[in-house]
Amino acid sequence: MLFVEFARVCEQVAATTKKLEKAALLGPFLGRLDDQDLAIAARFFAGTPFSLADQRVLNVGGAVIRDAVLQLTGALPEEWSRLLVALGEAGRAAQQLLAQYETVEPTLTLADVMAVYEQLEAARGPSKKVPIIMATLQRMTPLEAAYFIKLMLGGDLRIGLQEGLVEDALARAAGVPVGLVQRANMLLGDIGETALFARYGELAAATMRLFHPLKFMLASPISDPQEIRKGIAGPFFVEDKYDGIRAQAHKQGDRVVLYSRTLDEISQRFPELHAPLLNLPGEWVLDGEILAARDGRILPFKALQARLGRKDVSEDLLASTPVIFVAYDLLYQDGDVLLDAPLYMRRVQLEDLVRTYASDQPVDGVVSGTVMPSLQLLVRDVERVERLFEQARARGNEGLMVKDPDSHYKPGRRGREWLKVKKALATLDVVVTAAEVGNGHRRRFLSDYTFAVRRSADDPELLNVGKAYSGLTDPEVQELTDWFTAHTVRDFGRVKLVEPQIVFEVAFDSVQPSPRHKSGYALRFPRIIRWRKDKPAAEIDTLDTVRQLAELT
Ligand code: AMP
């Protein structure tokens, strides 16, 4: 099949915004191709010459393409820049420039163009790549050139066609549910091969192939732990949220490969993880986080940054910034794809794999060994989350992740099965001025507290800034109820003004001007972090601090 035919179908696809019409264009075109062309065309429609499983990359950037086009056409760099701005992309800019020249008959086939990409991949450096591109462009019509270049830059043809639509077209053509195509494509990491499986009615037989990255499951942010209950009714997992680099590790035989969240291979940047990961038996795919850690302590993200941005790691860097791998999910093990197994089952297998075989030198309960499972607890009570958050922060981590134990692993999705409890802006030390009867199981307690800051260090006038009820344990609430009852200065029934002596540390998401409180400010989503028995009321924060925080948000 001629490459120009592919380009023409792309133009037709670009001309409609309707998914159904796009699928109706792709289906018959793909149906006319032989097996080899089908695989190539499916990949091309998805936007890249090489599949995910292939992991080859062209390494052709905008500058290489510009040099090739300018050398070929004699156009000036300013002209190229003007076209790039006007048309928004190199493919169309080249098409326009080439259109001014005598044009050739289209002769290149899909396979010919694929062979050029392979040649380009093997050629090292711009000086080798530019001549290959020039020679190819010379044999192309302007329309072919546009698509040849779009594919080289990779990822998106800019015709309103994502991989999902190619999957959709394949499913329609084969008369199967799209889920079956998506699954095969995910396991194989190659839309081209998936197209062949679909053609031969073998989609269900597709099995996991390692060494291509699966997309990562993502989390939704929440600022109030009560929001957990919107999606998870029962107990939930709470894990430390590690501030490192998300990574997926694949192992089979004597091979270990690490992929980044951008689906690139990053193994060579973390050589010290190779042997410990190889130590874990069998074949598997782990999801987790790479962290810098030394002497049992997690180092700040800054330290890890030194390891990024360079391909090879010096001995000095290896010694100053050693890394560990914290595993939090197991996606595949010894022939079984575990994505549809509930998280609590995956976790059992994960701990079995990682705990038993990882090198193990427990230090401080924070970091043990070079490979370790994430710290995880099963929690029933939302009220505990605040405290756990602070503990995670004290261990040098960013905050907390909350996960539904029954959830499946959904690659590439951001849902409510995984929640990230957002970092609080800052904390304030405040004093309680009023206590109120609570709701639900706390209706017999004084559990809702209004709190205040001081006008200034010299002026002890108390100015209310907010009200909070979450964050304390039941025994603490009991103890406080007794104390407030004994120290009520004015009783309004459900609300009691109390002696201002109890100091809390509160976290919140932002500070906003508000006429509701005497301070003129209100905290958004305040949560009690600690009862500061160690702090006298005279030392709480002042209005000035509140004002500064308000300016920051
Ligand atoms: P976000 O990237 O903002 O969606 O937040 C989720 C990110 O938190 C993930 O991509 C991970 O890099 C990171 N993370 C840190 N610790 C964990 C954990 N225990 N479970 C899942 N993700 C985690």
Q: Amino acid identity of 281?
A: P
Strand, helix or coil for residue 251: strand
Q: What pLDDT band is residue 364 in, cutting at 50, 70 and 90?
A: very low
Identify residue 402 by its one-letter amino acid code.
V
Summarize pLDDT for 16-48 with one digit per residue, the tens: 999 899 999 999 999 999 999 999 999 999 999
Question: 401, 403, 410, 414: which to mutate for ligand 1, most atoms within 8 A of CB?
Answer: 401
How far is the C-alpha of 229 from the C-alpha of 236, rounded, in Å? Answer: 10
Task: Report angle CA 21, 23, 28 to the nearest 5 degrees.
Answer: 105
Q: What is the 3-state secondary structure (H, E, C) of 360-407?
A: CCEECCCEECCEEECCEEEECCHHHHHHHHHHHHHCCCCEEEEECCCC
Nearest alpha carbon, ligand 1 atom 18: 241
The DSSP symbol for 267 reads G
Is residue 314 very low, low, confident or very high in pLDDT (cuts 50, 70, 90)? Answer: confident
The atom of ligand 1 lying closest to the CA of 217 is 10
- For ligand 1, atom 16: residue with the closest CA: 241
For atom 5 of ligand 1, the residue with the nearest CA is 219
Q: Is the pLDDT of residue 147 over 90?
A: yes
**DSSP letters for 284-327:** EEEEEEEEEEETTEEPPHHHHHTTTT-SS--HHHHHHS-EEEEE
Q: Which atom of ligand 1 is nearest to the CA of 246?
A: 12
DSSP letter (8 states) at residue 518? T
Q: Say what the alpha-carbon torsion angle 373, 375, 378, 382 is, to the nearest 10 degrees.
A: -150
CATH architecture of the domain formed by 218-421: 2-Layer Sandwich (3.30)
Given 241, 251, 403, 496, the catalytic residue: 241
CA of 521 to the centre of ligand 1 (A): 33
Instruction: Give the tens place of pLDDT for each residue, 402-429.
Output: 999 999 999 988 889 999 886 555 689 9
Q: Which atom of ligand 1 is nearest to the CA of 376?
A: 19
Domain ranges of the chain: 3-153, 218-421, 427-551
Q: Active site includes 150?
A: no
Query: What integer pLDDT is reported at residue 361 of this predicted model?
Result: 46
Which tokens sit at 224?
Answer: 């109030």
pLDDT given at position 262: 79
Give the per-residue pLDDT at 357: 63
Position in ligand 1 atom list of the atom nearest CA 374: 19
Q: Please say whether the beta carbons of 521 and 514 come within 8 A.
A: yes
pTM: 0.72
pLDDT band at 362 (very low <50, low <70, confident <90, very high): very low
Distance 342 CA to ligand 1 centre (A): 18
Contact 309, 264 (CB under 8 A): no
Q: What is the pLDDT of residue 102?
A: 77
CB 211 within 8 A of CB 54: no
Strand order from edge to edge, sheet including 236-241: 218-222, 414-421, 399-403, 236-241, 376-379
Residue of 245, 260, 420, 423 with the most ligand 1 atoms within 8 Å of its CB, for mutation: 420
Report CA(194)–ligand 1 centroid distance (Å).
Answer: 30
Distance CA 455, CA 427 (A): 17
> Collapsing DSSP states into helix, strand and coil, what is residue 453?
strand
pLDDT tens, position by position, 438-496: 988 888 899 999 999 999 888 889 999 999 987 888 889 999 999 999 888 888 989 99
Centre of ligand 1 from the C-alpha of residue 371, in Å: 17
**What residues are in contact with ligand 1 under a 6 Å CB criterion?**
218-219, 239-242, 246, 289, 328, 374, 401, 420
The pLDDT value recorded for residue 300 is 78
The residue contributing the CA closest to ligand 1 atom 8 is: 241
Ligand 1 centroid – CA 398 distance (Å) = 10
User: How far is ligand 1, taken at its centre, from the CA of residue 356, in Å?
Assistant: 24
Pocket test for ligand 1, best of 214, 216, 217, 218 (most atoms within 8 A of CB): 218
| pLDDT (0 to 100) of residue 379 | 96
Write the CA distances from 209 to 38, 168, 259, 328, integer angstroms: 20, 22, 15, 21
Q: Give 243 Cα–ligand 1 centroid separation in angstroms.
A: 8
- Choose which residue among 239, 266, 289, 301 to substitute to test ligand 1 binding: the one with the highest number of ligand atoms within 8 A of its C-beta: 289
pLDDT for position 31: 95
Check whether 366 has a pLDDT greater than 70: no
pLDDT given at position 440: 82
Q: How far apart are CA 553 and CA 381, in angstroms?
A: 30
Cα 239 to ligand 1 centroid, rounded to whole Å: 10
Q: Residue 368 above 90 pLDDT?
A: no
Least confident of 65-74, 95-104, 175-184, 356-365: 356-365
Atom 3 (ligand 1) nearest CA: 219
Coil vs helix vs strand at 36: helix
Selected residue with higher pLDDT from 54 and 193: 193
d(CA 419, CA 410): 14
One CATH from 1.10.10.10, 2.40.50.140, 2.60.40.10, 3.90.1150.10 for 427-551: 2.40.50.140
Supply the Cα-derived Rg of the chain in whole angstroms.
30
- The per-residue pLDDT for range 150-167, each reduced to its tens digit, is 999 977 898 989 899 999
Residue nearest to ligand 1 atom 22, measured at CA:
241
- Average pLDDT over the chain reads 90
Most confident of 3-17, 43-57, 151-165, 424-438: 3-17
Averaged over 66-77, what is the pLDDT? 95
Residue whose Cα lies nearest atom 12 of ligand 1: it is: 246
d(CA 436, CA 273): 54
Q: Which residue has the higher pLDDT, 185 or 550?
A: 185
Atom of ligand 1 nearest to the CA of 414: 4
185-218 tens-digit pLDDT: 999 999 999 999 999 999 999 999 999 999 999 8
Q: Average pLDDT of 256-283?
A: 92
Atom nearest to 240 CA in ligand 1: 19
Q: What is the pLDDT of residue 363?
A: 41
* Cβ proximity of 51 and 191 under 8 Å: yes
Dist CA 337 CA 22 (whole Å):
32
- What is the position in ligand 1's atom list of the atom closest to the CA of 261? 10
218 C-alpha to ligand 1 centroid (Å): 7
Residue 334's Cβ-count burial label (10 Å; 0-12, 13-18, 19+) is: exposed
Q: Could you report the per-residue pLDDT of 248-269, keeping only the tens digit for each?
A: 999 999 999 999 987 889 998 9
* CATH class of the region 3-153: mainly alpha
